[in-house]
Amino acid sequence: MDNWWTQNQAHVEKSGIASVAHACITATKGYNNAYEKRYLESRKKVHKMLNELTCGAACLVDTDHRFARVTVYKLRGVLAPGKVPWVVGKSRAKMMQVLTKRCKLQKEEATQLLRRIEELS
């Protein structure tokens, strides 16, 4: 099973596919469990590879920016449903009112969010 990667690695990389890890596996036990031994070995290989790849330090996510992007997307329907662009007819004061009253955000949070929405729009 493992020979496939050594024979094809250069071709795969030449095709523009970058590999962090690999596992040559048998994905089925086959008819009448003909490949059960290889299948069980493959399961161990995949588990080992996944453990090696995931047991390091967790990567940090830019939660503030992600929060703003997701919020902008979700707020389109709340602040101006069906509008394109979504802010048509909505003043900043009206959006502030929706964020503080309907969404129950503090004024400072709403101001910061509106600033981010303007940056991302």
Q: How far apart are CA 102 and CA 105, in angstroms?
A: 8
Q: Quickly state the pLDDT bin for 90 (edges 50, 70, 90).
A: low
Q: How far apart are CA 102 and CA 99, in angstroms?
A: 6
* Range(s) of the domain holding residue 29: 3-54
- Are residue 67 and residue 92 in the same domain, yes or no? yes
- Are residue 48 and residue 86 in the same domain, yes or no? no
List of residues 6+ apart from 90 with CB closer than 8 A: 79, 80, 83
Q: How far apart are CA 7 and CA 98, in angstroms?
A: 61
- Are residue 82 and residue 108 in the same domain, yes or no? yes
| Residue tagged 């453990």 (tokens) | 51
- Are residue 35 and residue 70 in the same domain, yes or no? no
- Are residue 7 and residue 46 in the same domain, yes or no? yes
- Are residue 20 and residue 50 in the same domain, yes or no? yes
- Are residue 22 and residue 41 in the same domain, yes or no? yes
pLDDT in tens, 22-47: 888 998 999 999 999 999 999 999 98
- Are residue 76 and residue 111 in the same domain, yes or no? yes
Q: How many domains does the chain have?
A: 2
Mean pLDDT highest for which of 11-15, 75-79, 97-101? 11-15
- Are residue 99 and residue 77 in the same domain, yes or no? yes
- Are residue 67 and residue 46 in the same domain, yes or no? no
What is the three-state SS of the chain?
Answer: CCHHHHHHHHHHHHCCCCCCCCCCCCCCCCHHHCCHHHHHHHHHHHHHHHHHHHCCCCCCCCHHHHHHHHHHHHHHHHHCCCCCCCCCCCCHHHHHHHHHHHCCCCHHHHHHHHHHHHHHC
- Are residue 42 and residue 88 in the same domain, yes or no? no
pLDDT in tens, 105-119: 888 888 888 887 777
